[in-house]
A = this chain, B = another copy of it.
């Protein structure tokens, strides 16, 4: 089947190519009856605008690039499962707003400033996470220099990013820890990163510290366990803590994957959750409700996130005002922190 062009439609309809173009881009400068005729012929021939020609000619190309933080050393599971529903909602919502999405993994070798804007493949970029913000700083700065709009999820670094969107991590860390304290837990451990290279985890850590203070609990560095995103790390780290003889009765893990590892580690050592140790995670991965014990966690609203990201980037592209947004993270109580049971 041959692909028809706007010239074909014009010839059949008996109008000029320009009028066809106008009719198809919903220009008001076209007679209703003419438009009807054009649209009907276009539909009959299954005509679609050549997106490349359109993008070449127009200033805006109505396309967003989504760059996903990925662990390329782990081909089995390169993308953090937290991002899955977010990607789904971004695809859905951006589609509704008329944006195409091109997706890519964050490659350290890439030159984002030119790979998208300069090659005119996208009007702007959404960064989903960023494993180590510091090491990418110069890339982001170059992106700013080039002038391409971009938004980043999670990382709160207004010094560098024109628009930062994420959950209110400090508040989330506070709520999680405060809940554990309210349950009477006195020796609450923090599992996760806390350095400035990982701003979103650092914030959760700061919330943890504030909650300890608010509850009158002393901070003990031995309860501060440095680990990152993997289940295995959580499992190993909790084992190490036990071997070191550190006493604890609760764990706030800065993400659910770590929390899952902690649950597994405790389980293997016969430590009961929540009777002996309460555990709260962060993210609310879909699997939390299927674990046993089911995992209490700070829920991040990925659907809202997707909307705010797409709207924010869209505003940047259109040169409208934007402002950073912190979405509230919400405590979801399940079995792993005692109290209510069988909830969800």
Contact = CB atoms under 8 A, between A and B. Distances in A.
Nearest to A105: B91
B88 A77 contact: yes
B50 A56 contact: yes
Given A3-B118, A49-B119, A84 B79 contact: yes
Number of copies: 2
A78 B89 contact: yes
Contact of A303 (B52, B56, B75, B79): B75
Nearest to A306: B75
B75 A92 contact: yes
Nearest to A111: B46
A179 interface: no
B81 A81 contact: yes
A319 B205 CA distance: 55
A95 interface: yes
Contacts of A27: none
A267 interface: yes
Contacts of A72: 92
Interface in A60-104: 61, 68, 70, 72, 75-79, 81, 84-85, 87-89, 91-92, 95, 100-104
